[in-house]
Chain A
Amino acid sequence: MEIVLVGLNHRTAPVEVRERVSFNAEQTRRAAEELRARGILEETLVLSTCNRSEVYGVPPESSHECAPGLSSFLSEFHSVRHDVLSVSLYHHYDQEAVRHLFQVAAGLDSMLLGEAEILGQVREAYRFAHEHGATGPVLNRLFQGALEVGKRVRTETELGTRPMSAASAGVKLAERIFGKLSERKALVLGAGAMSEQVVSQLRDRGIAQLHVMNRSREKAEELAKEFGGKVVAWGEWDTALQTPDVLVSSVSAEEPVLGRDIVARAMAARGNRALFLMDLGVPRNIDPKVAELYNVYVYNTDDLTEIVQQNRNARESEIPHAQGIVEEHVSKFLSWQASVELVGLVDALRKKLREERAAFIRSRMEPMKHLSESDRAQVEKLMDEMLEKVLLEPAQRLRGERELRRKIQNVEALRDLFLSNREKP
C-alpha cells in the first residue's frame, strides 16, 4: 500500500514544458484509465493546473519500482522526449508524497504563497478522479486529508487572507470601507494593463457597475466591452464622479488629472458618500491634497506596494504554523496507513500460526496415540485459545492506539521478523 508521485511544477519546469505536459479533462480520464490498464498503478489521480502537473498513484508493487514506468508513460502520453522531460520531473514516495500533496493543498508550494485557487483545483481533481472510479481507499483517504489540511490552513493561519498584489490589495481595501462590492459602482481611468488587472479583480468581487474613462475612447470601449462596462467621455468629471464608490486611476500624465477642487465639488454633489481612490499611476494621477477631503480615502502605488510587502511578510511568518498543520496530518495519514497494513499483518500472522499449530500437533501427537479423539480435540482447542490470546491484545491495541501505530510505522521490519516473503499479505 505504497504511494508514488511523479510530476513537475513552476520550480522544476519552464512554461514551455509545463504547457506540453498539462492535462485537460479528457486527457486526465484517459491517462488514469491507461495507467491502470497497463498495471502501472492501481489507484490514480492527476492534478493539473497552470503551474503543475502531478500524477499520484498506488502501485501494485514497490513505489520505487513503478516510478520509471510512470515517467516513461508521461513522456509517451504527451509526446515529449524522455530526456527533456526527465530533468523536470520530481519523484516522491510514501511519506514524502503525502507531505508534498498536503503542502500543495495548503498553498505552501504555490508560486504565490498561500494562494486560494489551488485548494479548489485539488478538490476538483479529486472529485473528477473519484467520479471516474480512478481512486481507491488510499487515494480517497489521502485527498480527503489534503482537503482538510487546505481548509485548516486557510482558517487557522493568515497564509491566505491578505492580498498579495497592488490590484487585489486596493480592491480588498475598498471592501474594508464598503463591505461587499456587489452593490457598488466603479470608475476606471485609463485602459492599460494595470487598469485591466484591477477591473478583473473588481469583476471577480462582483462589482455592480463599471465605467471606463480613457483619453482614447477606442481603448476604453475595448476594456468596457471585455468586462461588461460602460464608457464615459474623458474629462466629464462632474457627472462621472457623482456615482462611483471606487475610482481606479492608471493613466500616463505628467500632472495629476484629479485635483482637489474637482473631487471636492464631486463630494458635495454626492452628499459626502465615501469615495475610495486607487491611484496606480506614476507620476501620481491624483493630487495628494485630495486625501484631506472628508470621507475620501486615497491610496497610491507606494501605499499599496507597502501593504503588499507587509502582507508578504505576514504570510511568510505563517509558514511554520501552516507547516505544523501539514505535519500533523501527515502523521495522521501515516498512522491510518500503518493501521490498515498492521491489521493485514495480524491476519497473516494468525494464519501462519494456525498452520504451524496444525503441523506441530501432527508431529507431536504421533507418539501419543493413547489419547482419545476428544482429548486430541481438547489439546488443539487449548492451543488455538493460546494463539488467539497471544494475538488478541496486540491486535486490539493496534486498532485502538494511534500512538502505537505511529511508533511502528515501519511495518516491513515486523513482516520480515515474523513472516517469510511468501506469506506476506
Chain B
Amino acid sequence: MNHLFPILTALAYAASFGLYVRFLAAGNKLTGRLGTVLLGVGLILHYFALLERSRGLHTVPYHDLYGSMSLFGWLLALTYLGLELYHRQRSVGALVLPFILVFFLAAQFAPADRLSPPDAHGPTFAFHVTLNILAYSAFALSFVLSLMFLVEERLLRSHKLGGVVWRLPPLELLERMSQSSVLVGLVSISIGTAFGFLWVYRLSDKYSFYDPKYAITLLVLILYAAYFRLARTGAWRGARASKMCIFNFVIVFLSFTVVNLYLTHNHRFF
C-alpha cells in the first residue's frame, strides 16, 4: 500500500495542531487561519488515505477497528471544522487536534493482513455505520468543549486567570458550540439508528432485534436529548450541563468499547 497519503495527512494534522497551539498562546490571527487551512488540507488528504486503504484491502473503512478509528478521526475533524467555521472560533482547535491525530495515527498500525473478507452489507448498512460514527465523533467534540468549559469556569471563579484564559473562547460560546455538536450527534444517531433497524428488518432471518447495543444506543439518545433540553433551562445551564455532557460521553465510550466487544454480537465488527 502507498504510504504517501497517510504521511502527508499526519504532517498536515501535526502542523495544524502546532499552529492552533501557537494561536492559542499568542493570538496571531494569521497563525489561526493557517491552522484552519492545514486542517482542511489534512481532511482532504485523510479522505484519500481512507479511500486508498479501502481500495487496497477491498473493504470499507469501518470493516475493522483501525479503519473505524481512522474514519472516526476524519469525521471528528470534519465536525470540528464545520463548528469552527459556523461559530468563528479557533481557540478550541488546539484541544481537538490531538484527538484527531491520535485516532488517525492509531489507525495506521492496522494489521491489515488479518482482515477477513467483508460481507456484502450494502449502502443501508454503510449509512448506518457512517452516521453513527459521525454521531460519536460529534459527541466526542461536545465532550472536549464541555471539559474546556469546566476548566475555564473553574479558573474564572477561582480568579486564577493566568495568560491563557484571555485566549480561550467565552463560556457562553463554548456552551453553544457544545450544544451545536450534540445536535449534530443527535440527528446523526437518530437517522443512523433508523438505517440500522431498516437493515436488520430486511435481514431479520439473520440478525436479531434483541441486542444490548440497541438499549445502550437508546440510552445515549435519551441522555443527549435530555442534555440538549436541560442545557437551556435555569437549574442546569452552565457547569451542570457540561458535567452531564461529560457523563454522557462516558456512556458513549462504554457503548463503543465494552458493549461492542463483550455484550453484543451484531455490532462486533472488529
A307 to B155, CA, bound (A): 13
From A28-36, A176-184, A363-371, A383-391, give the one contacting chain B. Answer: A176-184
A343 cross-chain contacts in B, Cβ below 8 A? none
Q: Taking A155-B30, A272-B234 as contacts, is the C-beta distance between A177 and B156 under 8 angstroms?
A: yes
Q: CB of B28 within 8 A of chain A?
A: yes
CB distance from A153 to the nearest CB of B (A): 11
B27 cross-chain contacts in A, Cβ below 8 A? 155, 158, 161
Q: Please determine whether B157 and A291 come into contact, CB atoms closer than 8 angstroms.
A: yes
- Which of B166, B237, B238 lies in contact with A161, CB distance below 8 A? B166
Q: CB of A411 within 8 A of chain B?
A: no
Q: CB of A274 within 8 A of chain B?
A: yes
Q: Please determine whether B170 and A178 come into contact, CB atoms closer than 8 angstroms.
A: yes
- Which of A155, A158, A177, A179 lies in contact with B163, CB distance below 8 A? A158
A173 cross-chain contacts in B, Cβ below 8 A? 156
Q: CB of B4 within 8 A of chain A?
A: no
Q: CB of B218 within 8 A of chain A?
A: no
Q: CB of B121 within 8 A of chain A?
A: no
A274 cross-chain contacts in B, Cβ below 8 A? 171-172, 237-238
Q: CB of B268 within 8 A of chain A?
A: no
Q: Please determine whether B168 and A272 come into contact, CB atoms closer than 8 angstroms.
A: no
Q: CB of B257 within 8 A of chain A?
A: no
Q: Taking A156-B26, A272-B237 as contacts, is the C-beta distance between A297 and B157 under 8 angstroms?
A: yes
A162 to B169, CA, bound (A): 15
CB distance from A247 to the nearest CB of B (A): 16
CB distance from A16 to the nearest CB of B (A): 38
A19 to B161, CA, bound (A): 39
In the complex, how many residue pairs between chain A and chain B have their CB atoms under 8 Å apart? 66
Q: CB of B55 within 8 A of chain A?
A: no
B171 cross-chain contacts in A, Cβ below 8 A? 176-178, 274
A258 to B165, CA, bound (A): 28
A298 to B240, CA, bound (A): 19
Q: CB of A320 within 8 A of chain B?
A: no
Q: Please determine whether A310 and B173 come into contact, CB atoms closer than 8 angstroms.
A: no
Q: CB of A414 within 8 A of chain B?
A: no
Q: Which residue of A lies closest to B171 (CB)?
A: A177
A298 to B44, CA, bound (A): 46
Q: CB of B229 within 8 A of chain A?
A: no
Q: Which residue of B lies closest to A321 (CB)?
A: B26
Q: CB of A175 within 8 A of chain B?
A: yes
Which of B159, B165, B170, B237 has the most C-beta atoms of chain A within 10 angstroms of its own C-beta?
B159
B169 cross-chain contacts in A, Cβ below 8 A? 179
A273 cross-chain contacts in B, Cβ below 8 A? 234, 237
A223 to B152, CA, bound (A): 34
Q: Please determine whether A176 and B168 come into contact, CB atoms closer than 8 angstroms.
A: yes
Residues on B close to A: CB < 8 A?
26-30, 152, 156-157, 159, 161, 163, 165-166, 168-173, 233-235, 237-240
Q: A155-B27, A155-B29, A297-B156 are in contact. List 7 more A-B contacts (CB 8 A).
A: A155-B26, A176-B170, A178-B170, A268-B234, A272-B234, A272-B235, A310-B161
- 5 CB contacts below 8 A, A to B, read A271-B234, A272-B238, A273-B234, A294-B240, A303-B159
